[in-house]
Amino acid sequence: MPVPNIFGTATSAIPLSQLDTNFATPVTIGNTAVQLGNTVTSFGNVTLTNVTISSGNVIVTGANVSGTANVSTLVVTGNQTSLGNVAITGNISANIATFGAGSNTAPSITTVGDTNTGIFFPAADTIAFSEGGTEAMRIDSSGNVGVGATPSAWSSPVKAVQLPFGCAIATIGAGDVVATQNAYFDTPNFKYASTTGVGSSVYRQVDGTHRWSYAASGTAGNNITFTEAARIDTSGNLLVGKTSDTFSAVGGRISPTGVMTLTADSNELANFNRLTNDGTLLYFSQASTIEGSISVSGTTVSYNGGHLSRYAQTTTAKDDSLVKGTVLSNLDAMNVYTDAEGNPVDNEQLNKVKVSDVEGDSNVAGVFVNWTHDDAHDVDEINMAMTGDMIIRIAQGVTVARGDLLMSAGDGTAKPQGDDIVRSKTVAKVTSTHVTCTYADGSYCVPCVLMAC
């Protein structure tokens, strides 16, 4: 068999002709004093120990560098099983380069002068990045990324970016993106990332909806039972405390159209608390103009700029000729209501009305405000003012003065009562002679305080 060429203490150039005969066998060069006299572009099987190559290219095929080599350009075409300390000042071209696993304090792929910063491999199919000897980021075997944290056991096919304290952003399914605090997803449940006293929360975008949920604290790895606190559904409705836009479901809803609904079970719906001083609790506006308010003064609550009213039906079809301020009288017949299936709905106190047709009528119910439609029972009803601030209709040619007590004139209008004693027939008291509106028949309306009930 061929004998290896060993040059242990050569001090001068070795002619290349001396290597030609057995060049295919291993060549060991013992120290850096040895020089090759001619240009050599490649070696088939060479062990280099403490070699400095200051210029040119080195092409290595299946070779091991076990010492220290300073190489300007290294081209590796084989599989390298071992590289010692190789300082590359130029370019590297390699099919496969294999490194040790390394650690956070001594990463296997690093840079000159900062050897505690780089890339290492803490486990199978796992890549980690170290900065200053501390792990800064990790990509685990499932493809989840931990930034300053080791990713929790997110189940496949979840992909997550996890931050310290169990905070993460992940996709847990098609159209289901989550942001978590102290939680991760392991199909089919969310689980606690750590055992802490701060509880857990999750924000989810699911099929176009936005959902916010929370849970009390628990033990790391245990299933989490979340309570949904708020939701914006696909119609843009903000749901608070309920998961469906159903009026009977407990919770609140604010719609994009500005409509708010509240539903409670054995509890108050709202609580208004004004601190420090007396004043307004609520304003009521129409067309952006304040029309009324609720205020507090000491222990008294005032309802300002309004009246008490109720809904009433008539014995005939809706009459569009009725005008605001018309005087109405009570009937014995009761309002009739049915549900969507046509079944009767109980009505204890709401009776029907008609236009007052008796002068001095003591059976006056109130005055007409407007027609409204009860969608739940599919019926037209009168919104009737009964007590408080309102306007009242006066016949053409009838004069009223501020302070006059009014009674029914027997034709849907009111007229002065003739004395200043409040009686059963008294409908209202005139508060101003300012004419608010005039109708086609010459009748007109003035402000008043209703005393119909």
Per-residue pLDDT of 31-87, as tens digits, reads: 444 444 444 555 455 555 555 554 455 555 555 555 555 555 555 555 555 555 555
Q: What percent of the chain has pLDDT over 90?
A: 63
Q: Which residue has the tokens 């109708």?
A: 439
pLDDT at 156 (0 to 100): 80
269-283 mean pLDDT:
93
Residue 416 tokens read as: 């002065």
* DSSP secondary structure code for residue 4 in this structure: P
* DSSP secondary structure code for residue 31 in this structure: S
Beta strands in 216-343 (DSSP E): 227-232, 238-240, 251-254, 260-263, 279-286, 289-297, 300-304, 307-312, 327-334, 337-338
Map out the domains of the chain as residue ranges.
Answer: 5-98, 145-232, 272-304, 306-453
Highest mean pLDDT among 20-34, 97-111, 152-166: 97-111
Residue from 181, 177, 178, 176 nearest 193 by CA: 181
Separation CA 236–CA 126 (nearest Å): 42
Strand pairing report for 251-254 and 300-304: unpaired
Per-residue pLDDT of 358-382, as tens digits, reads: 999 999 999 999 999 999 899 999 9
pLDDT at 291 (0 to 100): 87
Q: Sorting pLDDT into bands at 50, 70 and 90, what band is 173?
A: confident
Which residues have CB under 8 Å from 306's CB, separation 6+? 284, 292, 388, 389
pLDDT: is 452 or 373 the higher one?
A: 373
Q: Which CATH number fits domain 306-453: 3.40.50.720, 3.40.50.300, 3.65.10.10, 2.40.300.10?
A: 2.40.300.10
pTM for the whole thing?
0.55
